[in-house]
Amino acid sequence: MKKELLDKDCISKFENACKYELLHAQTYRHLASQMQGVGYFGAQKFFLKEIPEEESHFQKHIDFLNDMGVTIDIPAVPAQKQEVKTLKDAFTSAMELEYDLLEYYREFIQKEGLEYGDIMQHLMFFVEVQRKTVGEYGDLLARIELAKDDAAALLLIDQELGK
C-alpha cells in the first residue's frame, strides 16, 4: 500500500474537486438534452463537446492523487432536473457552475497550494481553464443578451455554437 502524501483535509478538497468535475459533465449532458428538446442543436453539440473535457479534468485529479499515494471513492452526482428552455438560461446555468468552480480552485490554492508547490502547480492548470471558460461564457451571454428575443439572431448564435 502506498504512503499517502496528503493530509485528510487536502484529500477532502480533492474529493470535492472531483465531484465538481463529474457534476459539470452531468450538467452538460443535461443541458445538451434540454437544448436538443427545444431545437437548439448547435448548443446541444456545444455542450456535448464539453463533457469529455470535464471528464478529463476529473481524471487529471485522479492521476495526481495516485501520484500522491491516494485513491478516493468515486463521488455520486445528483440527477439533473432543471428545465432549461432558452440559450440564455442554459449559458447562465453553465456560467454559474463554472464560476463557482473557479472560486473553489482559488480558495483551494490559498489553503493548500501556497504550502505545497506540487499542489499549486496542479491546481494552476484548473484555475486557467476555469478563467477562460468563465470568460467564454460571459462573452456568449453578452451576445445572447444583445439578441434579446430575436429568434433569427438566437438561431444564428446557435448555429455558430455547433461549429
The pLDDT assigned to 107 comes to 96
Helices (H), the chain: 8-37, 41-67, 87-108, 117-147, 151-161
Nine-digit cell at 137? 461564457
- Side chain identity at 58, as an amino acid letter? F
Give the start-to-end residue ranges of the domains of the chain: 8-70+83-161
User: Rounded to whole angstroms, how far apart are CA atoms 88 and 81?
Assistant: 17
pTM over 0.85? The answer is yes
Percent residues over pLDDT 70 in the chain = 100
CATH number of the 8-70+83-161 domain: 1.20.1260.10
Q: Which of 21, 23, 25 is nearest to 57 (CA)?
A: 21
Q: Give the model's confidence band at 109: pLDDT under 50 very low, under 70 low, under 90 confident, else very high.
A: very high
